[in-house]
Structure 1
């Protein structure tokens, strides 16, 4: 599986009811847990004072990431995404399988 850094900004459309927002947010939490259990959502952060998320996600390729992973999020229609494919850095202190 490849890793991707994904920045997500969610903008609620004007006129959306609080009930609809609450429903989608609850469904989003459930789906995030499912994707984490499946190994797709690795880590997720929210920058202090900002309404966006930054996460490390895994998928076999860009298509799977967009179609079968991020595309299944209930809030996806309201999201703007920036996706950066990642590769291991030789000096990463957390890298496994490194030889000296």
Structure 2
């Protein structure tokens, strides 16, 4: 499976009822746990003070990542994503831990 660095920015459409936002956020947390358990979401961070997240995600390729993995997130319609395919670096200090 290919790894991807994904930067996601979520913008809730103006006028969206708070109940809808709360419902989707709760469903998003559930789906993120499911994707992590399935090995699709490896790590996730939120930069301090910013409305975006940065994560390492896994899929066969970018179309699968966007359609089946990220596209399954309840808040996906409100998200924009910058996807960067990753490959191992020969000097990665964590590579030995994964071998």
| 4+ runs deviating over 4 angstroms | none
1:54 aligns with 2:64: no
* Count, aligned residues: 98
Distance 2:62 2:48 in 1: 28
Counterpart position of 1:94: 94
**For 1:1-100, what aligned pairs fall within 5 Å after superposition?**
1-96=1-96
Change in Cα spacing, 1:12 to 1:87, as seen in structure 2 (3 Å) is same
Displacement of 1:63 in angstroms is 1.5
Secondary structure of the 1:96 match is: helix
For structure 2, the residue ranges without an aligned partner over 5 or more in a row are: none
Write the distance in 1 (CA, Å) between the matches of 2:89 and 2:61.
Answer: 19
Task: Please state which structure has a larger fraction of its residues in helix.
Answer: 2
TM-score by length of 1: 0.95
- Which structure: larger Rg? 1
**Structure 1: which 5+ residue stretches go unaligned?**
none
Secondary structure of 1:42 counterpart: strand
Q: Give TM-score scaled by structure 2 length.
A: 0.95
State the 1:96 CA deviation: 3.0
